Amino acid sequence: SQTIHQWPATLVQPVGSPLSLECTVEGTSNPNLYWYRQAAGRGLQLLFYSVGIGQISSEVPQNLSASRPQDRQFILSSKKLLLSDSGFYLCAWNGRSSYNEQFFGPGTRLTVL
């Protein structure tokens, strides 16, 4: 069966520090991968998605970036965090068909102080 992992589970970082969140998927190959951010009490905002290694589409301009160095690995980064970057970051995957539901990871709670 397929599983999706995210780490760390929680993170507290000072403003201006760098960020690296990692997401890995097991049990599938060539998945579509997604990064979402969820502010407290709000819906999910799509940040990036990737349909293959090295292929990144950005949905929202911001100081975050994403990379996909391996087929089942998706990384969310920032060089300098802002207070507004605080939130719940969710990674998701689905199969090649665009009619497949997305499966979400457990999320990373990021607090920028």
DSSP letter, residue 102:
P
Is 49 an interacting residue with respect to other proteins (CB under 8 A)? Answer: yes
Is 43 an interacting residue with respect to other proteins (CB under 8 A)? Answer: yes
* Shortest Å distance, C-beta 5 to other proteins: 11
**Contacts of other proteins in 13-42 (CB under 8 A):** 32, 34, 42
* Per-residue contact string for residues 58-77; x = within reach of other proteins by CB under 8 A: -x------------------
Which helix (H) or strand (E) is 105 found in, with range?
none
* Shortest Å distance, C-beta 71 to other proteins: 16
* Shortest Å distance, C-beta 54 to other proteins: 16
What token pair was written down for 37?
């951010």
Q: What is the CA radius of gyration of the chain?
A: 13
- The SS3 of residue 111 is strand
Instruction: Collect all residues with Cβ–Cβ distance below 8 Å to 1 and sequence separation of at least 6.
Output: 27
- Are 48 and 56 in contact by the 8 Å Cβ rule? The answer is yes
Chain positions contacting other proteins, by CB under 8 A:
32, 34, 42-46, 49, 51, 59, 90, 92, 94, 98-99, 101-107, 109
